[in-house]
Amino acid sequence: MPLSSSSLGEGPLDLRKGFSRVGKDQVAKEHPAQEDGSSTLGMKIQRKIRLKDVAELAGVAVNTASTILNRRPNSWASKETEARVFKAANELGYRPSKTARALQSGRYHSIGLLIQDLTNPFFSTLADELEAAVEERGYDLIVENCRSSLVRERHLFNDLTDLEVDGMVVWLSDNSAFEDELASAFKGPLPFVALGCGSSSLPIPVDSVVSNFTEGLQQAVDATFDLGHRRYAFLSALAEGQADGSRPDLLTRMLAEKGVPRSSIQILRSSHSIDSACETVTSFLNSCGDERPTALFAINDLSAIGAMRAAIECGLHVPKDLSIVGVDDVPMASYLPVTLSSIRQRYRKITRAAADLLIARIEGTVEDPTVPTQVIFPTHFVARESVGPAVS
Amino acid sequence: MPLSSSSLGEGPLDLRKGFSRVGKDQVAKEHPAQEDGSSTLGMKIQRKIRLKDVAELAGVAVNTASTILNRRPNSWASKETEARVFKAANELGYRPSKTARALQSGRYHSIGLLIQDLTNPFFSTLADELEAAVEERGYDLIVENCRSSLVRERHLFNDLTDLEVDGMVVWLSDNSAFEDELASAFKGPLPFVALGCGSSSLPIPVDSVVSNFTEGLQQAVDATFDLGHRRYAFLSALAEGQADGSRPDLLTRMLAEKGVPRSSIQILRSSHSIDSACETVTSFLNSCGDERPTALFAINDLSAIGAMRAAIECGLHVPKDLSIVGVDDVPMASYLPVTLSSIRQRYRKITRAAADLLIARIEGTVEDPTVPTQVIFPTHFVARESVGPAVS
DNA sequence: CAACAAATAAGAAACGTTACCTAACTTGGT
DNA sequence: ACCAAGTTAGGTAACGTTTCTTATTTGTTG
């Protein structure tokens, strides 16, 4: 999602277009002039303006032009040539080729973000925020969307270096499944930051920014318990160990401390999508008779919405018959017709921290590069309409 | 969002990583071997495997290796050398440099998508679908997110050619504001397809894929009118002419045909975001006394959700006191606690058509390149819980 | 006035590919 | 034996930058 951060400095450089590609048949090798000849079809074809053209117009050598346009620190061109070069660049509408630059310098000025599902508001918000964060620092964001496919995820993660970015921010659906790759990738030359999942599951030596779900979950448990809930359901990920702030065992333990037995806690499994959650919960609710839970914790807000829908379809009222808690606190949560209680993650802080960490790595401004940094942000429970007193 | 479409064909080419970047201090210019020396910090640094290395290991020239690995049609290498080259590539874990390839060939194997706001489920779904569509055809998708900023939008659109993609799919918030740029960009060398907005507003000679909202809107008008609604509100875009399937005038005209006077139609304006819509509608509802509309048409689903929230906050019941209709039919619409009635756009079809059109342009398989193609998809009204009988 | 440092500019070699053209081996038909 | 055609492989020049090194000019000083 690059907002072209033209490296031409403050030179006004009108935003006129510098069209590229001259077709296979380039005429006149050395004379870029030709003043845009019209093709047979009436389309203007204009060859790409190269640095060389600018240099020629300004009457300097290409490297001189390069140095000037890039405002390189050491090399001091005279004010006069500098002006000539800027003028020429402006006149021709010169736009540097990122590709050539990247090939030569090995720097891409862009950062990748690996996510599971762009369709999930959590991830799209994350991407949006991260983009803003890295852009402030002069990088473009390239989103790698796994589209909920695990094979795609593994594929993409293993091919990170194909990406040709300066660094990666990765959200993995299951860190433990990638433990080895993560550790070895961290030793590799491509800087990256692991995001999000696993309060505890990161003994892996990797730069990371995670949310600590213990606090938020504890608050949610306290709140629901105080409202009289004694039978719980937990809507978890499809596979054991998958990204999952409020892991089943964590919840079970917290509830156990309050005297809620394991037998009063139902663990449901679905994928992270809204429809899958709805399906799972519907069939669960249809089959659980009297022992129906009064509170349901979902793995994320999307699933929570699906669960809420399922409850409603089953003729239950939220929160009277079933209280529902999500995770993430996506922006939409507070606008739903029944607002969703959720365990809030600090998007903004997470993305800023990730950007800082990663860019420090990239630019080498990190004290000891061998030791990984871990940033942990607290979460907290936000109570909204979807949670109410238990009516057992 | 590139899923690296390795051009190495079916050669199994283990997915092991080919790390790049050797730091500023490259040793041994000609001997890539060096068998990954460990740096002082214990990090493996491995220089990028180049085609040259593969060629050397296989005992052939680089161009030979290139020809073989790219399975170029004409040049026939012997089965034996071919095998040697593949083996060498596998052994070294060779991954071609997209950058170098792009620089040389002028092809990027990627397509850009310009959208207003990644955070809006409509656009993230669109991106998701388009990515799938272009990926099938061997292209990566690069998302350009305007983050709801008009200046960013104009900036990005004007700098399209900086992007270094093979083609663009652009959704513009207001085609009319870009009319000139659109027309001239279409004549430019960068193929692009305009998306979505304006049933009627595209006399501009540009490849485009649009939804025709007339049908869906008519159905929605019919449905609500039949349910007894006689006072309407229309939640429109902030600026006149902004992307807006169910333009105020269109709605007004349809209602006029049914005998609903203009004075019974309130036009509200907000930006496309959920919170802005909620705010606008809240203050409207608080100020409209007895003449409160019984049906509200929103410019998109996000606004509709905001409006629904506003109604609820004002103590109104949806749909008893206020029926609400959105536009887009985002996946979530049918899962909300009060499911949202909406005018459905055919995401899948739109994205496929756009991909087809664009790629045909890119690959030059278009009969007459001077004449623009317009694809129009119908929309239709999907009735859900948010619409009910008018209780005046 | 010679000499030396700074200031300024240019030359040439990368970066990793692909494209175009030429050269060397095979054949097989006469 | 010999030459066309066919087959196979290599040489070299791009692509548009940046970077490293070298050359020129200018100004200052003993």
* pLDDT tens, position by position, A210-238: 888 889 999 999 999 999 999 999 998 87
Counting every residue, how long is chain A?
392
CATH superfamily of B108-211+346-378: Response regulator (3.40.50.2300)
Fold of A1-106: 434 Repressor (Amino-terminal Domain) (1.10.260)
Q: Is the confidence at residue A1, as pLDDT, over 90?
A: no
> Could you tell me which CATH number the domain at A213-345 has?
3.40.50.2300
As a whole number, mean pLDDT of residues A284-312 equals 93
> Could you tell me which CATH number the domain at A108-212+346-378 has?
3.40.50.2300
Residues above pLDDT 70, as percent of chain B: 82
- What is the tens place of the pLDDT at every residue in B253-273? 999 999 999 999 999 999 889
Question: Whose CA is closest to B320, among B265, B369, B387?
Answer: B387
Full-model pTM: 0.88
- The per-residue pLDDT for A206 is 85
Which residues on chain B are in Cβ contact (under 8 Å) with A305? 332, 335-337
Q: Do domains B108-211+346-378 and B213-345 have the same CATH topology?
A: yes
Indicate if CB(A59) is under 7 A from strand C.
yes
Indicate if CB(A72) is under 7 A from strand D.
yes
Indicate if CB(B52) is under 7 A from strand C.
yes
Question: Whose CA is closest to A335, among B308, B301, B148?
Answer: B308
Pair of tokens at residue B294: 């019984």
Q: DSSP E strands: which ranges in B197-330?
A: 208-212, 232-237, 265-270, 295-298, 323-328
Instruction: Give me the CA A84–C1' D29 separation in Å, rounded.
Output: 33
As a whole number, mean pLDDT of residues B230-237 equals 92
Indicate if CB(A67) is under 7 A from strand D.
yes
The alpha carbon of B199 is separated from its chain's Cα centroid by a whole number of angstroms, namely 18
Per the CB < 8 Å rule, is A17 touching B158?
Answer: yes
Which residues on chain A are in Cβ contact (under 8 Å) with B41? 369-370
Helix/strand/coil for B337: coil
- The per-residue pLDDT for B223 is 97
End-to-end CA distance of chain B, in Å?
50
B97 half-sphere exposure, CB direction, 13 A CA radius: 20
Which residues on chain A are in Cβ contact (under 8 Å) with B21? 106, 189-190
Question: Whose CA is closest to A368, among A140, A207, A229, A154?
Answer: A207
User: Which of the residue ranges B15-24, B181-190, B280-289 has the most confident prediction, judged by mean pLDDT?
Assistant: B280-289
From the list B3, B160, B163, the residue facing A156 with the nearest CB is B3
As a whole number, mean pLDDT of residues B94-108 equals 93
- Which of A98, A113, A118 is most worth mutating to test chain B (most B CB atoms within 10 A of its CB)? A118
**Sign of the Cα pseudo-torsion (A355, A361, A365, A369, in order):** positive
- The per-residue pLDDT for A181 is 81
What are the phi and psi torsion angles at B324 (to 5°)?
-130, 135
Domain residue limits, chain A: 1-106, 108-212+346-378, 213-345
- Mean pLDDT score across all residues of chain B: 83
Cα distances (Å, whole numbers) of residue A185 to A129, A179, A181, B14: 25, 10, 6, 16
- The per-residue pLDDT for B77 is 74
- The per-residue pLDDT for B388 is 96
Per the CB < 8 Å rule, is B21 touching A106?
Answer: yes
Tell me which of A19 and A387 has the higher pLDDT: A387
Instruction: Give me the CA A78–C1' C2 separation in Å, rounded.
Output: 28
For residue A153, what is the nearest residue in chain B, using CA coordinates? B3
Answer for the pair A67, B210: CB distance below 8 angstroms, yes or no. Answer: no
* Residue A367 to residue A302: CA distance in whole angstroms: 40
* Residue A221 to residue A215: CA distance in whole angstroms: 10
Residues above pLDDT 70, as percent of chain A: 82
- The per-residue pLDDT for B35 is 39
Answer for the pair B376, B214: CB distance below 8 angstroms, yes or no. Answer: no
Cα distances (Å, whole numbers) of residue B101 to A376, B51, B117, B347: 41, 11, 32, 33
Per the CB < 8 Å rule, is B43 touching A127?
Answer: no
Per the CB < 8 Å rule, is B162 touching A6?
Answer: yes
- Mean pLDDT score across all residues of chain A: 83
Answer for the pair A334, A112: CB distance below 8 angstroms, yes or no. Answer: no
Instruction: Give me the CA B95–C1' C25 separation in Å, rounded.
Output: 32
As a whole number, mean pLDDT of residues B125-133 equals 96
Which residues on chain A are in Cβ contact (under 8 Å) with B309? 335-337, 339
Which residues on chain B are in Cβ contact (under 8 Å) with A149? none
- What is the tens place of the pLDDT at every residue in A133-190? 999 999 999 999 999 998 899 889 888 888 899 999 998 877 667 777 888 888 888 9
Spatial neighbors of A340 by CB under 8 A, at least 6 apart, are A301, A304, A305, A308, A324, A326, A333, A334, A384, A385, A386
* Residue B1 to residue A143: CA distance in whole angstroms: 5
As a whole number, mean pLDDT of residues A88-111 equals 93
- The per-residue pLDDT for A169 is 95
- Which of B123, B140, B159 is most worth mutating to test chain A (most A CB atoms within 10 A of its CB)? B159
Question: Whose CA is closest to A132, among A111, A157, A155?
Answer: A111
As a whole number, mean pLDDT of residues B48-55 equals 90
